[in-house]
Structure 1
Amino acid sequence: MSRAPEQPQDPILWCAALALGFWLLLAWNLGIPTKPYFDEVHYLPAARDLIALDTFSNREHPLFGKEMIAVGILLLGDNAWGWRIMPSLSGALALFAVMRAVWFGTLSRYATLVSGLLVATGFHLFIHSRIAMLDVFAIAALSVAFWQCAAAIREPEKGRWRLALAGIALGLAMASKWNTLIIAMVPGLAFLVLRWFAGRRRLLLSRRGMPVPGMTLVEAFIWLGVLPLLVYAATFWPAYHFANQPITEGLVAHHRFMLDLQTQVLKPHPYQSNWPEWVINWRAIWYLYEPVDGAQRGVMLIGNPLTMLLGLPALLWCAWQGAKSRAPMHRAVAVLYAISLGFWIFAAKPVQFYYHYFLPSTFLLVALALALDDLRQSGRRKLAAAVIVLNLLVFAFFYEIIAAESLARPNSFMVWTWLESWK
């Protein structure tokens, strides 16, 4: 008798441990600075208005992220911990969900855990999990959605409730930031394309074929199309009950107003940049650099200088492997990166910033994890390990300037501004 193939063991406990360790690192000095900084000055007043149902402010953005900030304030008070507790928890959830998505997509323990290490130390998730902005809520919701979609494909017997959870998460992602809209459409479109190529005669009602056997295209449309829109609309419920400037003409009319606000021509901003600069990690944004809480402190948003660049050839490798070897996870990551970046290439938003690269950079880091897994399997274990160790060292070196730690001198920023465009 032939020996049964070995079954890889699910590293779920390691995933949970890494996510917990990440949150503990986030929680260290989470309350510093004790005053609002960068875009917190926009979202904290909006969260307070939600609690009081006074004036509907910050109307250009959906409500879910601000609702989560408001929950933190209600739990821990109107202070720095209250402002940032929900972003930190969402960041830890995002990291866990990314690893779970990679696990169900690859069944590789190595790729799963390395993707977690790379995303945790890629700077974007760390910085946005320590500030009361909306981006981390969108990333967390999308990560959960892709986790559940990958799990539904891997375990179709659980497909119904997993796709329902994915639909809820997609709705919350769109209700956090509009720039998730295109990506939120991908799971439903992917289901349609895969079922179409399965060659089923009864396309709408057939339960056979990829991606989730046992589920019809009609049912998938409900979970991945209708449910996200219902969840998205439900998050606007408080907007009808504000004392001043509530929604009175319906949700569609309000969205026309939101679109006008999003596409209005703004004055040039010293930190604005565009997608070619994001890809090569060229333009930094200083979220903070001033004396605060008894010391000189700073928060510089830039991608990890090592992995942001190594991720580019890794993306090309994933695209090549996806096309040549029909490696579904490699192909999916390359396509998702292209779609999420392509949105900003064609978006009618005149002023753009490096933090818009948060989502594409997450796909890029997962692509690097897949490439390192392939490198390891080809026998180049030491080279793959060297990249991981060097990445951790780079993160440790930059930690002071991405975590608002106490700096030695007013000009300490010179230690980390390797490029003139980072100053």
Structure 2
Amino acid sequence: MQDPPIHETDPWRWHLALAAIFAALCANRLTIPSQPFFDEVHYLPAVRYLLDLSHATNLEHPPFAKQVIALGVAIFGDNPLGWRIMPLLFGVLALFSSMRAMWFATENRAASVLTGMYIASGFMLLVQARIAMLDIVMAGFMLLALWMCAGAVRENETARWRLAIAGVALGCAMASKWNAIPLAMVPGLTFLVARLWAGRRRPFRSERGWPIRGMSLMEASVWLGVVPLATYAVTYWPFLFFDQVPGNPSGLIALHMQMLDLQQQTLDPHPYQSRWWQWVSNTRAIWYLYEQADGAQRGVLLLGNPLSSLAALPALVWCIWAAWKDKRRDCAAVVVLYAVSLGMWLIAPKPVQFFYHYLLPHCFAMAALALATERLRQRGERLVPWALLGGSLALFSYFYPILTAARLSGEYSFLVWAWLEGWR
């Protein structure tokens, strides 16, 4: 007789606790600086015009993330709290969704909790959750969609309502920033490839087989294709009411041609611009703030955790090996998501790129590190897993002041954290 398989219990309480701690860390000094900083100076005017529907601006980006930020301003006022409260909430949503997605993908408690701990201590999500920019809204919706898709694959009986939510979230992610478009195609393409690979007699109507039993490819195309596109289109409703739209586009297609031209326009070189290999190697940071603000010298530095960001690279290689050798779909999913989200920047026509474009790939890299760390733990290793996690948390604590605009001792305080020339 064989013992029944052990099914771990859902660690949702751990996920909620980690999300709450992360929210508290993000909320500390959220209203400092009290003036707009870095790209807030571009997006906040667009938010104000959106609230009074007077003038469409910042047309190079889709409108929904600005609508989300505008909701915070409408509730809490045109002040630092109103500007940044919605990014904070979407940062918490992104963290919680990442843990839930990993749980449904693996049914491994430790892997899901490690994912949250590595992402929370990885610097990037924290910094982006404290500034009124578009990327965090996109990341929150995208990770929510991946959570719903993973849940649908794990619990087929819940697939319809989960994929309905996923479809809306994918549309909102694309309508927040176009970076999400390649990733938004992954769930639908995965379903398509899986059913065609199975070689069913009626692949479009068959409801048998992976990834979701009881759902046909035709139905999945509605949830993962039609719903995202319809949601995306609906988010452009303000353009029906703006008093003035530059260029006077004749419709949604003309507007998108104009937006695409703006994305591809030649810009002057920026001192903080970088390329994908610098993101992967964590050698080019961005100073969102370094000046006298609110009565003290303060700084906000965007970079990756020096330990976990680099440790994630061999973890990704291991995930490729495990996906091929052990047929681990969780590892394959992380690798595909990382490759798609980073790969678009290898071919993107956008001439000036920045480290914050690495936000989603960084989250997937942290997920790969969580899977690798848990595998080491399962093999009986103790020193390396604890060193990786403990070292990452220690570095997070050390860098926390410069991630959150703390009061610094003087003009050259940045040297305490600017270890590399590319971090200065």
TM over 0.5: yes
Are 2:260 and 1:269 aligned?
no
**1:240 corresponding residue in structure 2:** 240
**2:257 corresponding residue in structure 1:** 256
Return the letter of the residue paired with 2:326.
S
Return the letter of the residue paired with 1:275.
W
CA contact (8 A) 1:200 1:209 kept: no
Return the letter of the residue paired with 2:168.
I
* Alignment of structure 1 residues 135-174 onto 2, 5 Å: 135-174=135-174
CA contact (8 A) 1:240 1:248 kept: no
Mean alpha-carbon deviation: is it higher for 9-18 or for 379-388? 379-388
Are 2:358 and 1:357 aligned?
yes
Are 2:367 and 1:366 aligned?
yes
Q: Specify the SS of the correspondent of 2:176.
A: coil
Are 2:37 and 1:28 aligned?
no
User: 1:199 Cα shift?
Assistant: 2.0
Mean alpha-carbon deviation: is it higher for 387-396 or for 245-254? 245-254
1:314-350: CA deviation from partner (whole Å, max 9, x where unpaired): 0000011001110000011011111111100000111
CA contact (8 A) 1:208 1:214 kept: yes
**2:214 corresponding residue in structure 1:** 214
Gapped regions of structure 2 (runs ≥ 5): none
* Alignment of structure 1 residues 397-408 onto 2, 5 Å: 397-408=398-409
- Give the Cα–Cα distance (whole angstroms) in 1 for the partners of residues 244 and 192 of structure 2: 43
| CA RMSD, 1 decimal | 0.9
Q: Specify the SS of the correspondent of 2:209.
A: coil
User: 1:4 Cα shift?
Assistant: 2.0
How many residues were matched structurally? 423
1:173-198: CA deviation from partner (whole Å, max 9, x where unpaired): 00011011001000000000111122
**1:224 corresponding residue in structure 2:** 224
Report the TM-score when normalising by structure 2: 0.99
User: 1:62 Cα shift?
Assistant: 0.5
- Give the Cα–Cα distance (whole angstroms) in 2 for the partners of residues 321 and 144 of structure 1: 26
**2:114 corresponding residue in structure 1:** 114
**2:55 corresponding residue in structure 1:** 55
User: 1:248 Cα shift?
Assistant: 4.9
* Alignment of structure 1 residues 327-338 onto 2, 5 Å: 327-338=328-339
Return the letter of the residue paired with 2:410.
R
Return the letter of the residue paired with 2:416.
V
Mean alpha-carbon deviation: is it higher for 313-322 or for 3-12? 3-12
Are 2:276 and 1:305 aligned?
no
- Give the Cα–Cα distance (whole angstroms) in 1 for the partners of residues 4 and 276 of structure 2: 49
Return the letter of the residue paired with 2:290.
Y
- Give the Cα–Cα distance (whole angstroms) in 2 for the partners of residues 16 and 168 of structure 1: 23
- Give the Cα–Cα distance (whole angstroms) in 1 for the partners of residues 146 and 135 of structure 2: 17
**1:318 corresponding residue in structure 2:** 319
Return the letter of the residue paired with 1:364.
A
Q: Specify the SS of the correspondent of 1:159.
A: helix
CA contact (8 A) 1:341 1:357 kept: yes
**2:348 corresponding residue in structure 1:** 347
1:43-98: CA deviation from partner (whole Å, max 9, x where unpaired): 11111111100100111101111001100001111100000000000000100000
- Give the Cα–Cα distance (whole angstroms) in 1 for the partners of residues 6 and 334 of structure 2: 26
- Give the Cα–Cα distance (whole angstroms) in 2 for the partners of residues 6 and 359 of structure 1: 33
**1:177 corresponding residue in structure 2:** 177
1:87-110: CA deviation from partner (whole Å, max 9, x where unpaired): 000000100000000000000000
**1:41 corresponding residue in structure 2:** 41
CA contact (8 A) 1:315 1:368 kept: yes
Q: Specify the SS of the correspondent of 1:37.
A: coil
Q: Specify the SS of the correspondent of 1:300.
A: strand
Report the TM-score when normalising by structure 1: 0.99
Deviating above 3 A after TM superposition, structure 1's stretches of 4 or more consecutive aligned residues are none
Are 2:57 and 1:67 aligned?
no
- Give the Cα–Cα distance (whole angstroms) in 2 for the partners of residues 5 and 203 of structure 1: 33
- Give the Cα–Cα distance (whole angstroms) in 2 for the partners of residues 197 and 85 of structure 1: 45
- Give the Cα–Cα distance (whole angstroms) in 1 for the partners of residues 121 and 87 of structure 2: 17
- Give the Cα–Cα distance (whole angstroms) in 2 for the partners of residues 334 and 412 of structure 1: 38
Q: Specify the SS of the correspondent of 2:301.
A: strand
- Give the Cα–Cα distance (whole angstroms) in 2 for the partners of residues 381 and 329 of structure 1: 23
User: 1:382 Cα shift?
Assistant: 3.0
* Alignment of structure 1 residues 99-110 onto 2, 5 Å: 99-110=99-110
**1:6 corresponding residue in structure 2:** 6
